[in-house]
Chains A and B, each alone.
Chain A
Amino acid sequence: MTTRPSLNRRRLLTAGAAAAASPMLFSIARAQGSAPIKIGFPTPLTGAFSAEAQDQVRAAELAVKEFNAAGGYKGRMAELLVRDDKLNPGEAATRTLELIEKDKVDFVVGSLSAATQLSINAVCRDRKVLFNSISQSDAINEAKDWSLYTFHEALNPHLTAGAVARYAFPKFGKKVVYLTADYAYGHEMVRGFQRAGQSLGMQTLADIRHPLGAADYSAFLPRIQALKPDVLVLCNFGRDLVNSAKQATDFGLKQNTKVIAPVLLYTSRLAGGAEAFEGILGGTSYYWGMEDKIPSAKAFNDAFRKANNGAVPSDYGALGYAGVKSVLQAVKNADATDSTRVSIALRQLRYNFYKGEQFYRKCDHQSVQSVVIVESKSKAMKDKYDVFNVLAIEPADEKNLRSCDELGHKITT
């Protein structure tokens, strides 16, 4: 498996060309009188989240491969059209528009930031093309951004932060300091924690905002040290999380304080190393190590390993798999490829593709799913993939989401 994005795309194109040229497939397609089912896949192949994005593509390709191996839909094969949105909302909108207008995609799955998914959603909504977002966001569930064609396979900050808070605050104490990246995602995380923390008697000592992309946190840490919190919550993401976790470790904060990252990603942990993340606890949508408890996780991991030289899927990667697979399953269930009918089928879908039972809530199309609480390992690791202990899995439950009313949805059926 190659890791260069351009090669990935090229490989895809050749694969597509080969499929089209292959006489058998060609005759089937012609017999049905129809083209492949095209799924547009905008994601930031370059930029700060490129490692996560490339794993999304690998897993999405796997979903397509499985669909095609099972005969597709009435002989129609699926095809993934991957585009680099460069983590830029404008670029994401342009690429999505091209995918819809020029490449005539049937559906769009993808995105890896709160901002790009909203711009992709806006383009798809206007053109009535089904979009399944595989990146965390609270806003996409709210009525003003939502449409019949908007689906959200990923977790949202409210749910993730809530699950981590419900697990951690009763265990580690109630005095909390937040170190928060100063942008929408960071603020959403803090809100999620505070909502869940209220009923648990949590007490916020300080919410310290740091600039997005800061490399040095040493100037913020002495005050946190002096406040002596029970829990320090790092409400940031990617490299910011790696740097702040590393420096909090250097300052000896972990001796008296439990450090929590609401979203603890497999890829961040790999980039930051065992030492920086030692003992840090957090929430995630998926960890491959769930496979000894959940059979569908085992099946997904094995298929992914086989396709990727033994590598395991990351959390965001797995979302790419589920995002594409659910749409393709809905095509079969709806016996149609138009977005409206597939949307109705998706609303009725109950699926267990990789992490246990999931379904899309009727009012906002949020995927109701479990949240995994993990802790970073630093000892007794079996191999390089063995980075977390699974502490708990909060089962899927609608009551952990914000209510349909609160999100502004009038119709709840």
Chain B
Amino acid sequence: MSEITPQLLGIQLVAGIALGAVYALLAIGLSLIFGMLNVVNFAHGAFFMVGAFLGVYALGLTGSFWFSLLLVPLATGLIGLVVERFLVRPLYGRGIDYPLLLTFGLSYVLVDAMRFFFGIEGLPSSTPAALRGATDLGFGFFPTYRLFLIVAAALVIGALWLFIEKTRYGLIIRAGARDPEIVRVLGIDVAKVWLLVFGLGTAIAGLAGALAAPTRAVNPEMGITVLAESFVVTVVGGMGSLPGAVVAGLLVGIVFSLTSLFAPELAELSIFVLMAVVLLVRPQGLFGKAGQMG
């Protein structure tokens, strides 16, 4: 292809990073829940979808996009807390497939709940006025809202890292992941830690949905493809690894974007090829610990 210029490659790269930012945000919530609770959350895509619906709904109600970004993670986090406390908790210690099937069923319930409340067609969404239009990057124009997505994802991921690495609660979470028995012996209620982690994971999924809503049609089925993609990212990064989720998110975004440029027909396939190659060379993923799925 003769028309490929450095400028086009640059824009394509930025498009990949913007895609990767959403992937990373999704995968980090999924990885957080798996790493700490050993729960493979198949309802993660559904929480993303619920977040998108609530975001558009809250925007219509309050008129403020920023307020909706605050409200949505609180709401999906709250749903997550209830789900952990009453549905997931009875299944701890029963093997990895029990919570997997439970959350799989839950995803159908959430999809139908949204169909019930908002209709099967979904809601039209629009870009907030302040972030409309395109920004000149020096080598081409790129939608302002997607640049904002990159910044927003970086902020959320940065805040999460600070929380887990630098605070006392974060210390307890890390300790609880490594050895819940010892943490319990030290007089800490591990159940509360798990509750918090599940809520945090679903809050981030909801926030990702609210952030992605202005770029795409909001409909009850939007979480299905998203779930598959976020699993690809977590597997590439290593199940349970937070840095893995971020690096793999960006990697998958960029691979998808560049494949779209050179061979659009293979774009969808490319991320699965990437996953297959990683699994062959490094079965635990780029940053994963071996044997955690056992």
Knowing A218-B146, A270-B121, say if A243 contacts B265 (CB, 8 Å).
no
Please list the residues of chain B having a beta carbon within 8 angstroms of any beta carbon in chain A: 3, 5, 7-8, 11-12, 15-16, 18-19, 119-122, 124-127, 133-134, 140-143, 145-146, 215-217, 219, 221-222, 225-226, 256-257, 259-261, 264-265, 267-268
In the complex, 10 of the A-B residue pairs with CB atoms within 8 angstroms, ordered by the A residue number, are: A51-B121, A210-B267, A215-B222, A218-B19, A219-B267, A222-B12, A223-B3, A246-B215, A273-B124, A276-B126
Within 8 A of B (CB), among A262-277: 267, 270-273, 275-276
Number of A-B contacts (CB under 8 A): 107
| Complex contacts, B256 vs chain A, CB 8 Å | 219
| A24 part of interface (Cβ distance < 8 Å) | no
- The residues of A that contact B16 with a CB separation of less than 8 Å are 219
Q: A218 with B18: in contact, given A209-B265, A211-B267, A252-B143 (CB under 8 Å)?
A: yes
Listed in ascending order, the chain A residues whose CB lies under 8 Å from chain B are: 3, 46, 48, 50-51, 182, 208-211, 213-216, 218-223, 225-227, 239, 242-243, 246-247, 250-252, 267, 270-273, 275-276
CA distance A101 to B111 in the complex (A): 35
**Are the C-beta atoms of A250 and B143 separated by less than 8 Å?**
yes
B151 CB to closest chain A CB, in angstroms? 16
**A247 vs B125: C-alpha distance when bound (angstroms):** 12
Query: Cβ of A239: which chain B residues have Cβ within 8 Å of it?
Result: 217, 219
Q: How far is the CB of B112 from chain A (nearest CB, A)?
A: 11
Are A251 and B143 within 8 A (Cβ)? yes
Which chain B positions have C-beta within 8 A of A51? 120-121
In whole angstroms, how far apart are the Cα atoms of A50 and B143 in the complex? 32
Alpha-carbon distance between A182 and B266 when the two chains are bound, in angstroms: 11
The answer to whether B261 and A222 touch across the interface, beta carbons within 8 angstroms, is: yes
Q: 9 closest A-B pairs (Cβ-Cβ)?
A: A273-B124, A219-B260, A219-B257, A211-B268, A222-B11, A250-B143, A242-B217, A252-B134, A218-B15
Considering only CB atoms, which chain A residue lies closest to B253 in the complex?
A219
Answer whether A220 and B126 are a contact pair too, CB < 8 Å, given A215-B216, A239-B217: no
With a cutoff of 8 Å between Cβ atoms, the chain B residues found around residue A252 in the complex are: 133-134, 141, 143
Q: Would A216 and B215 count as touching, CB distance under 8 A?
A: yes
Q: Which of B125, B140, B142, B146 contacts A273 (CB 8 A)?
A: B125
**In the assembly, what is the distance between CA of A103 and CA of B134, in Å?**
58
Give CA–CA (A208, B265) in the complex, Å. Answer: 8
Chain B residues closer than 8 Å to A218, beta-carbon distance: 15, 18-19, 143, 146, 215, 257
Is A223 a contact of B8 with CB atoms below 8 Å?
Answer: yes
Residues of A within 8 A of B142 (CB): 251
Q: Is the CB of A276 within 8 A of B8?
A: no
Contact of B145 with A250 in the complex, beta carbons under 8 Å: yes
State A208–B16 Cα separation when bound (angstroms): 18
Q: Which residues of B contact A48 (CB under 8 A)?
A: 221
Q: A222-B261, A226-B3, A272-B124 are in contact. List 5 more A-B contacts (CB 8 A).
A: A51-B120, A223-B3, A226-B7, A226-B8, A250-B134
Contact partners of B8 in chain A: CB under 8 A:
222-223, 226
Q: Give bound CA distance, A198 to B125, whole Å.
A: 38
Bound together, the chains give a CA A243 to CA B18 distance in angstroms of: 16
Chain A residues within 8 Å of B216, by CB: 215-216, 243, 246-247
Partner of B215, one of A208, A214, A247: A247
Q: Report the minimal beta-carbon distance from B69 to chain A, rounded to whole angstroms.
A: 18
A residues near B268, Cβ cutoff 8 Å: 211, 214
Report the minimal beta-carbon distance from A217 to chain B, rounded to whole angstroms.
Answer: 9
Cα of A222 to Cα of B143 in the assembled complex, Å: 11
Distance in Å from the Cβ of B115 to the closest Cβ of chain A? 9
Q: Which residues of A contact B219 (CB under 8 A)?
A: 239, 271
**A220 partner, pick from B143, B146, B260, beta carbons under 8 A:** B260
A226 touches B217 (CB 8 A): no
Bound complex: CA of A242 vs CA of B121, how far in Å? 12
B226 pairs with A215, CB closer than 8 A: yes
A contact residues around B3 at 8 Å (CB): 223, 226-227
Instruction: Assess whether B217 is in contact with A251, with CB atoms less than 8 Å apart.
Output: no
Q: Is the CB of B146 within 8 A of A250?
A: yes
A216/B19 contact (C-beta < 8 A), A227-B3, A271-B122, A271-B124 known: yes
Closest CB-CB distance, A250 to chain B, in whole Å?
4
Give the chain B neighbours of A214 by CB distance below 8 A. Answer: 268
Let me know if B124 and A209 touch, CB within 8 A: no
Considering residues A209, A216, A267, which has the most beta carbons from chain B within 10 angstroms of its beta carbon?
A: A216
A26 vs B19: C-alpha distance when bound (angstroms): 64
Contacts of A215 in B (CB 8 A): 216-217, 222, 225-226
Q: Which residues of B sit under 8 angstroms from A243, Cβ to Cβ?
A: 216-217
Among A218, A220, A275, find the residue whose CB has the most chain B CB atoms closer than 10 A.
A218
